[in-house]
Amino acid sequence: MVEQEPEAIPAPVKEPTQIVKQRRLLNRWSIFILLFVSAVATVLYVSNVIQVNRLLREKDGLQHSLDSLHTVNQSLRTEVHRLQSSERITRIASEKLGMTPPTKAPRVLRANNE
């Protein structure tokens, strides 16, 4: 067997220091921009969550008020029906005003238009 000489690995080409400095500066700005964008996105997300929570609390408060108003409205309707009942009106008319119900049904009088 014949041994071959290993091929020589070429020495890496050294970049000029100006290019290395520019690349480092670009990497620093890239990291800064990435951090800034991440911070802005986080602030927007948190403010959105806070706004949604505030709106949910406001909605719950309004729903509670609506339920209370429905209850009050129903109790007022019940009170109106009670006050308008014919038994109550007849009782008050006879007790407080001394009125008595008629014994005969009322008659309707018609005028002759000739």
Alpha-carbon gap, residue 68 to 65, rounded angstroms: 5
Q: Give residue for tokens 């339920």.
A: 67
Alpha-carbon gap, residue 73 to 58, rounded angstroms: 22
pTM: 0.52
Per-residue model confidence (pLDDT) at position 88 = 92
pLDDT digits 0-9 by tens, 38-69? 999 999 999 999 999 999 999 999 999 999 99
Per-residue model confidence (pLDDT) at position 42 = 98
